[in-house]
Amino acid sequence: MDQALTLVVLAVVAIALVTMVSNRLGVAAPLLLLAAGGVVGLMPFVPAVAVEPEWILAGVLPPLLYSAAVNMPAIEFRRELRAISGLSVVLVLASALVLGWFFTLVVPGLSFAWGVALGAIMSPTDAVATSIVKRFGISPRVVAILEGEGLLNDATALVLLRASVAAAATGWSIGGLVRDFAVAVVVAVAIGIVVGRANLWLRSRTVQASVNTALSLAVPFLAALPAEHLGASGLVAAVVAGLVTGRGAPRVLSPQHRLSDAEVWRTVELLLEGAIFLVMGLELFGLLVDLDEDDHHLGRTVAVAAAALVIVLLVRAAFVAPLLLALSRRARRGAAVRDRVDRMRELAEDPDRFAAALTARATKHARGLRGASRVERLRLEPERVERFGVRVRRRLADIDYLIAEPLGPREGAVVVWAGLRGAVTLAAAQTLPPETPDRSLLVFLGFLVAAGSLVGQGATIGWVVRRVRPAAVDEAALDRDRAQLVEVLQATAERIRRDAETAGDGPVDRANVIDAQRGVLLDLAREGAFASSAVRDVMAVLDADQISIELRRRPVEDV
């Protein structure tokens, strides 16, 4: 017990120190932790380290993916859903099939099913790529696509891995694979939505920030464990719960609670992500021992892993190229209809004109008593005008977003090179059953591809970004968005004060003004007319103002 506790403490200290050093060196902390773990693991007095893979797949990944989903802007996830779905589902399947064919050629006696299983292991990307890319200030659209891909492709890979292992024993069933995947996703989405909403409902009624944050730590497991029990994807359930929480938290949770959550979850992310890569390096010695005991040639194994990594990148490039063309066509189609959508927006801003136009159209197509009743309902439902206006403004904002942030070959190169493999690959490889042919070889191949990708791509992604020079964050546009949002909030405050003076209600409570301003800000964020980062910055100012008010009013024991 004392030894285990000592190792945990040493690991926490190592992660903290390496993270501090990485900031000074300008090198991503996961890369240094991987290297440090490998060096320590090869020391003669350090025993072979082996971690149960389920600890990573069921204990580490759900909270990491949940935290990433909470922080992902819902508007950007929706806008890039096509690209995210393609990268996280279609590309994973394509990569696994191509790699499966390759492994049957280079690993003697390996069946196609086991080859696809190993291909599925190597197909998902690691979220560490996004943290590296963010430091270079590239286009938020590229970051959103990479973040979304990292949220969902693990689930696709694990479902395919499970199906491939079953196929090795019973044969392939395409229908069964499609059914299993559909069930895994649909059930997981349903559970994630229920858990996410229940989470918001319960935590909105919790007063103490510490209790609120403690509840948030349980949410990813409350979503993942039931989903896994029902044969669905626990990772998808955790992601959906995170998306629901991230979208609803600003409306129902106090700023102090959200700030407490953010600080704690940043620490959780740091420790869990660091532990994954540290353990990954420590496991190197044990994998080498297993490989040697099974008489596999190290040099040939390294060559096969290098070829597999090249194939992964080539397949990714072959998929990203047509994806960019499809996204460009989508932007052109949006530009072609922009004027018409803008006219619809102008119509929606005049409720009387809109109601008249809608009623005239309904009257034209009305037939009999049912049609007359429908026309009458339209006259009595002015909220339809507002709903229509929101949809039109959102559509217009989507078009402007696609036009303002096009994705070309430069951005595509970053998307391709940022497809790092990581800890999920190693953890998934170690879930291969004991009866797997050449299991030690397959597990070590997974480690080599993950480590080679992290070191090779992770260490050079900065050079690639500087070389290809993709679109960067438009700071001037962000400043304009922030200024416009501040003007809107100031106008909201003035309107509330004028209304209070007219009603003779006396001075307006500043906290009530902030609540109203936050509601306006969230409505604007939902429509997507302003950059998510600008909305987040202005929201932080409102939150800080409200926290200062609450701290002055609330007793210390309630904080």
138 beta partners? 472
370 and 222 co-located in one domain:
no
Q: With DSSP H G I counted as helix, E B as strand and the rest as coil, what are the percentages for the chain, rounded to 5?
A: 85, 0, 15
176 and 73 co-located in one domain:
yes
pLDDT-derived band at 352, boundaries 50, 70, 90 = low
Any idea which residue has 């690991």 for tokens? Answer: 11
395 and 422 co-located in one domain:
no
- Inside any domain, residue 10: no
Q: Are 88 and 233 in contact (CB under 8 A)?
A: no
Any idea which residue has 């964020």 for tokens? Answer: 525
- Inside any domain, residue 35: no
**CATH at residue 439:** 1.20.1530.20
Residue 521 identity (one-letter amino acid): L
H/E element holding 558?
none
CA nearest to 417, candidates 453, 393, 372, 363: 453
135 and 179 co-located in one domain:
yes
- Inside any domain, residue 12: no
pLDDT in tens, 97-152: 999 999 999 988 888 999 999 999 999 988 777 777 777 778 889 999 999 998 88
pLDDT in tens, 501-540: 777 666 777 888 898 999 999 988 888 889 888 999 999 9
Q: Is the pLDDT of residue 444 over 60?
A: yes
441 and 508 co-located in one domain:
no
Arithmetic mean of pLDDT over the chain: 85
Q: Domain end: 402, 428, 461, which one? A: 402
How many domains does the chain fold into?
3
Which letter, b or e, does each residue of 497-529 get, where b requires 16 or more Cβ atoms within 10 Å of its Cβ?
eeebeeeeeeebeeeebbebbbebbbebbbbbb
Q: What is the pLDDT of residue 559?
A: 47
419 and 507 co-located in one domain:
no
Q: Domain end: 422, 445, 473, which one? A: 473
* Domain range enclosing 369: 331-402
Q: What is the pLDDT of residue 512?
A: 84
pLDDT in tens, 170-207: 776 777 777 878 888 899 999 999 999 999 999 999 88
Tell me the percentage of the chain whose pLDDT exceeds 70.
91
Whole-model pTM: value is: 0.88
260 and 214 co-located in one domain:
yes
CA nearest to 254, candidates 51, 514, 436, 35: 514
The residue-averaged pLDDT of 341-358 equals 71
Q: Are 445 and 118 in contact (CB under 8 A)?
A: yes
- Inside any domain, residue 25: no
Q: Is the pLDDT of residue 215 over 90?
A: yes
125 and 268 co-located in one domain:
yes
**H runs (alpha helix) in 349-382:** 351-365, 368-379
338 and 322 co-located in one domain:
no
- Inside any domain, residue 11: no
Question: What is the DSSP secondary-structure string of 288-335?
Answer: HHHHHHTT--HHHHHHHHHHHHHHHHHHHHHHHHHHHHHHHHHHHHHH
380 and 245 co-located in one domain:
no
Q: What is the pLDDT of residue 194?
A: 97
Spatial distance between the Cα atoms of 258 and 543, rounded to a whole number of angstroms: 9
Spatial distance between the Cα atoms of 74 and 51, rounded to a whole number of angstroms: 35
- Inside any domain, residue 266: yes
Residue 122: CB atoms within 10 A of its CB come to: 28
Of these ranges, 22-26, 183-187, 281-285, the one predicted with the greatest mean pLDDT is 183-187
pLDDT in tens, 234-263: 999 999 999 999 999 999 998 989 998 999
294 and 350 co-located in one domain:
no
- Inside any domain, residue 532: yes
Q: What is the pLDDT of residue 159?
A: 86
Handedness of CA 215, 219, 220, 222 (dihedral sign): positive
- Inside any domain, residue 19: no
